[in-house]
Structure 1
Amino acid sequence: MIIDAHQHLWDPADRTYPWMDDSVAPIRRRFDASDLRAVTAPAGVTATIVVQAVHDPGETAWLLAQQEPVVGVVGWVDLTAPDVADRLAALRTATAGAPQHGSRQRGSHPPLVGIRHQAQDEPDPSWLAREDVIRGVRAVAAAGLAFDLLIRGAREHAAALTLVDAVPDGVFVLDHAGKPDIAHDGTATATAWRARMRDFATRPNVACKVSGLLTEAGGDWRNRPVDRYVRETVHTFGTDRSMWGSDWPVSTLAADYRTTLRTTADALADLSDTEREAVFGGTAERVYLAGAQPQT
């Protein structure tokens, strides 16, 4: 079983996505589960985790209404709200009482498995280290949900580490390998990225997504060291804390779905069968889906 641990669905006609400017015009349209099935099934991908793309609870509700191949939702909640625990409890209650993953009834909907906030878009680079945010993430951990870290390079690095250390019983997932600047790869760039990755990897409650690297490499990605970044990410975190994600449909700005999957698989061709199964399914299943229950 292959699990795509990071993909998106959206409908710009329903809500505004501030980051959808003209640079992403080809993907500025509705994508739903039917579009997803059309690309995952031919590639042999049997399940996906869909991830929020805007700070809007309405989008999370829409994602929770999607069907297969989506098996889990990383949604959004206002972490700074005084009643954040109640909001999370309401979402968890809404997703409780249905068959476990692996025995989903046809027509059932995916459970909430995590929360994400696009910290990279916050004006304050220390947003993740704020006391009200830490309190909110503690509520996420108490609800049994993972927290995805979306940060870019060094800007939010220190704040993200502060958050992880402040919530030692939480489960964190670093999106897109911390968004390395592969398009401008050089000795200094790579060295700084490796140091940041080691900082996260020393925290045993942090997993990492091998995702979004083709788009980080830019339109000339075939001539950039994407393979090296893939391999170093997995080497740094280990296969039991690494998971593949397509970042579809954002990834289509660089390559089609099959190419995104194949590029990662080829870069990790020297892994054993057991290690490959972890990166392409086992880690995501353990981190996101253990104990998660879909809606009916």
Structure 2
Amino acid sequence: MRIDAHHHLWDLAVRDQPWTRDLPALRRTFTAEDVRPALDRNAIDATVVVQTIAVPEETPELLALAAEDPHVRAVVGWTSLTDPGIADRLAELRERPGGSTLVGIRHGIQDEADPDWAARPDVRRGIAAVGAAGLVYDLLVRPDQLAAAVRTVRALPEVRFVLDHAGNPVVGDGEAESGGLETGGLETGGLESGGLESGGLGVGGLEAWSRLLTELADAPNVAVKLSGLVTRTAEAPADELRPYADHLLATIGPDRLMYGSDWPVCLLAAGYDDVLTLAETLTGALSTDEREAVFGTTAARWYGIGPTA
């Protein structure tokens, strides 16, 4: 089973997406029907649709879609992590139409100013409640927040985590050009926690990122998405991303690495087919079983996605 473990959908007639206002390529509605030809063309059996905006109304809409759509098999939604009643909110979501497709929760930590936001006690209590509900927590962080994310993963071994977009590393000279949902507010200040220093390449550089991902790989309760990176490259994405992909494969390994298109955000740099081809190129040296893990079985196992009918 081939799975796209990360994409988005939104309808501007239903709700504005303020982060798209300066991104003409994304300033329109993107529906499941828009992406379906690419899914069919590339033999994608199932997808995970991921929240885009921190409002309570969006997740029930995505759940209802998943209940009807032949491709959308899982939803990573949103609810406030600091709500004292988060357990009740999660239970309510599961009672809604399509509630059985809720597999995880995500908050845009990257939009929080505090580099240690993920390590706050009230946030950790919320993440623990997500895990107690049997759900995965997706981490969306800036490079300067990655150290706090690593500490939180270690502090909550009972929770299953997925690191979105490999932690949004700064790739080459593209740190200020990627913009958009998954990279908004990118900051490259120094690492201030956990005794980790950024070295000479800045907080998001390859050296610092590699060290943090090596630390993260020691925690068995975390997987990583090979997603959202093409928008961080310039003219030679395969060459620029090769060191990052190689490090992920050497540390996290195929059994904890999952492919995601990040469609339609990927359209800022490349079409759906091109993003998939890039991921296949970066994993071309893997065995058949290892490639099946990256492009399907890791996501199926981590998110609990059963075989298609």
How many angstroms does 1:183 deviate by? 3.4
TM normalised by structure 2 equals 0.84
CA distance in 2, matches of 1:60, 1:201: 30
How many angstroms does 1:47 deviate by? 0.9
Q: Secondary structure at the match of 2:127?
A: helix
CA distance in 2, matches of 1:25, 1:16: 14
Q: Deviations over 1:13-53 (max 9, x none)?
A: 3223232231x211111112111212211111111100111
1:20 partner amino acid:
T
Question: Are the equivalent residues in 1 in contact too, given 2:238–2:281 (CA < 8 A)?
Answer: no
CA distance in 2, matches of 1:223, 1:42: 22
CA distance in 2, matches of 1:231, 1:49: 24
Q: Residues 57 and 129 from structure 1, CA distance in 2 versus in 1: closer, same or farther, beyond 3 angstroms?
A: same
**Larger displacement relative to structure 2 (282-291 or 255-264):** 282-291
Q: Match for residue 286 of structure 2? A: 271
CA distance in 2, matches of 1:262, 1:230: 14
How many angstroms does 1:263 deviate by? 0.9
1:174 partner amino acid:
L
Which of structure 1's runs of 4+ aligned residues deviate more than 4 A?
A: none
1:193 partner amino acid:
W
Q: Match for residue 72 of structure 2? A: 70
Q: Give the number of the structure with larger relative contact order, counting CA–CA contacts within 8 Å between residues 6 or more apart.
A: 1
Question: Are the equivalent residues in 1 in contact too, given 2:230–2:266 (CA < 8 A)?
Answer: yes
Q: Match for residue 180 of structure 2? A: none
Q: Secondary structure at the match of 2:270?
A: coil
1:254 partner amino acid:
A
Q: Match for residue 130 of structure 1? A: 120
Q: In structure 2, which of residues 81, 85, 97 is the aligned counterpart of residue 83 of structure 1?
A: 85
2:155 partner amino acid:
A
Q: Residues 110 and 141 from structure 1, CA distance in 2 versus in 1: closer, same or farther, beyond 3 angstroms?
A: closer
Size of the aligned set, in residue pairs, is 277
Q: Deviations over 1:85-106 (max 9, x none)?
A: 00001112336xxxxxxxxxxx
How many angstroms does 1:290 deviate by? 5.0
Question: Are the equivalent residues in 2 in contact too, given 1:214–1:221 (CA < 8 A)?
Answer: no
Question: Where does 1:53-202 land on structure 2 (aligned, <5 Å)?
Answer: 53-66=52-65, 67-94=69-96, 111-153=101-143, 155-184=144-173, 188=201, 189-202=205-218
1:247 partner amino acid:
D
Question: Are the equivalent residues in 1 in contact too, given 2:127–2:137 (CA < 8 A)?
Answer: yes
Q: Deviations over 1:228-266 (max 9, x none)?
A: 322322222011100000000001111111110011101
Q: Match for residue 302 of structure 2? A: 287
Q: Residues 244 and 291 from structure 1, CA distance in 2 versus in 1: closer, same or farther, beyond 3 angstroms?
A: closer
How many angstroms does 1:122 deviate by? 0.8
CA distance in 1, matches of 2:18, 2:75: 21
CA distance in 2, matches of 1:18, 1:166: 34
CA distance in 1, matches of 2:164, 2:216: 12
Q: Secondary structure at the match of 2:74?
A: strand
Q: Match for residue 52 of structure 1? A: 51
Q: Residues 222 and 164 from structure 1, CA distance in 2 versus in 1: closer, same or farther, beyond 3 angstroms?
A: closer
CA distance in 2, matches of 1:133, 1:151: 14
Question: Are the equivalent residues in 2 in contact too, given 1:74–1:114 (CA < 8 A)?
Answer: yes
Question: Where does 1:225-240 land on structure 2 (aligned, <5 Å)?
Answer: 225-240=240-255
Question: Are the equivalent residues in 2 in contact too, given 1:3–1:47 (CA < 8 A)?
Answer: yes
Residues 1:38 and 2:37 are matched in the alignment: yes
1:212 partner amino acid:
G
Q: Deviations over 1:131-166 (max 9, x none)?
A: 11111111100100000000111x112321232123
Task: Give structure 2 stretches of 5+ with no counterpart.
Answer: 175-198
Name the Cα RMSD after superposition: 2.1
Q: Residues 203 and 4 from structure 1, CA distance in 2 versus in 1: closer, same or farther, beyond 3 angstroms?
A: same
CA distance in 1, matches of 2:83, 2:238: 45
